[in-house]
Structure 1
């Protein structure tokens, strides 16, 4: 049985300041938890309504009731198990051949989807501005479907980083070069801007090239694409 104090701590982990205070975050669902076993994330404890369903674990498992699960879950429909994990120490920032750079992404679902896309295309690192949504946010973790265990996420000052990188900085612009005729550089940073405002002017100044996704439809009501949709289209073409 979970104590009221433990429940209160776990409930607080939806906020960044408490995740940092306790050095903990939550991962929900047996499928995503199984990805943790193959990663360098350390699990403190697993809470489960049905421990038999867990594939394998050398981690302590505490049996909890459905009611306790509902109290600590951040999902509308809670899954069988929740893993309490320690935050990872951020790895040193070193250029990789292809990287995603996120300038002020705020929506957890977008960040989670972009992490999942990076994993799909074999991109090992995402560099985020310091005001990009925290990737330990439970909605981000859930949207990654386990991909967060395979992609290094680094938060840094983008102006400083983009000014010193050896990679070609590429951004999106309606007047940019057509994506489908664009010649992909060997080493690149694909920069994706904030959902509503796009890239900051100081980030835009550091671009070496701009690309655009041509519109094939006739409807003019669609002004732009969701940032994670745009990322998927661009990566699909760059890797074709």
Structure 2
């Protein structure tokens, strides 16, 4: 049942401190919600304007009105259902050949897009600096289009992690080597920096190679970090076939 108290709790989940307090986050849309039972995440409740379309084997959806859906949704135009899910404990996957490493990414849309890219290219894990945006942020979840269910996200002190990593640390930099000419190793961390400041100095000091995407046009000064990630990953995986 969707009480006024529960609405208040669900509305508060747009903030990290309340997601951690209640150990909950929201997933919206029938398509993604239907994928959750096949993941490590657990659904606690489902609220839907059409509960017969979304009820799972373990969780029966509760009927709500379109107006109630608007109150608990973080979308501008919600259309069907909201699932209340439990946060999971972080786990670190060892000995992976390619990992994305994100140094201070702040835009939720960028993180969500890079989770989606990792899923597309079969990259199992993303390592995030401790100040990277929380991946349970509703905008990250929405932008990932369900890919957060299949990509492991871990937050670490990057300096400590990269110092002890057995992988090559390859980072993007405007003064780096033309990445089209670079022969990527079998095992490496691809490090992408903050939208405005790039990779921070202490991370840059731990790079074994700097790469850049050459600019062929004359107008734009830089690329969006998630677009850059897509270009680089496309080139890396094109050489695997």
TM-score range, shorter chain: over 0.9
- Matching of residue 16 in structure 1 with residue 42 in structure 2: no
TM-score for the superposition, normalised by structure 1:
0.97
Deviation of 1:172 (Å): 1.0
Indicate conservation of the 8 Å contact 2:70/2:78, yes or no.
yes
CA distance in 2, matches of 1:199, 1:73: 34
Structure 1: stretches of 5+ with no match in the other structure? none
TM-superposition CA deviations, 1:51-99 (whole Å, max 9, x none): 1222744213111111110100000001200000000110135341100
Indicate the residue corresponding to 1:225 in structure 2.
Answer: 223
CA shift in 2, pair 1:10/1:55, >3 Å: closer
Indicate conservation of the 8 Å contact 2:97/2:186, yes or no.
yes
Indicate the residue corresponding to 1:41 in structure 2.
Answer: 41
Aligned equivalent of 1:236, options 225, 234, 237? 234
Indicate conservation of the 8 Å contact 2:52/2:61, yes or no.
no
Deviation of 1:50 (Å): 0.4
Indicate conservation of the 8 Å contact 2:55/2:61, yes or no.
no
TM-superposition CA deviations, 1:111-133 (whole Å, max 9, x none): 00000000000000000000000
CA distance in 2, matches of 1:201, 1:84: 39
Q: Kindly report which structure 2 residues correspond to 1:3-82, keeping only aligned pairs within 5 A, or say none.
A: 3-54=3-54, 56-82=56-82
Q: CA RMSD, aligned part only?
A: 1.1
CA distance in 2, matches of 1:168, 1:94: 15
Indicate the residue corresponding to 1:138 in structure 2.
Answer: 138
Indicate the residue corresponding to 2:200 in structure 1.
Answer: 200
Deviates more, 1:55-64 or 1:221-230: 55-64
Deviation of 1:169 (Å): 0.2
Indicate the residue corresponding to 1:191 in structure 2.
Answer: 191
TM-superposition CA deviations, 1:150-193 (whole Å, max 9, x none): 00000010000000000000011222121111101010000000
CA distance in 1, matches of 2:8, 2:146: 26
CA shift in 2, pair 1:159/1:191, >3 Å: same
TM-score for the superposition, normalised by structure 2:
0.96
Number of aligned residue pairs: give it: 238
CA distance in 1, matches of 2:186, 2:149: 26
Indicate the residue corresponding to 2:126 in structure 1.
Answer: 126
Deviation of 1:39 (Å): 0.5
Indicate conservation of the 8 Å contact 2:44/2:83, yes or no.
yes
Indicate the residue corresponding to 2:109 in structure 1.
Answer: 109
Structure 2: stretches of 5+ with no match in the other structure? none
CA distance in 1, matches of 2:209, 2:92: 26
Indicate the residue corresponding to 2:175 in structure 1.
Answer: 175
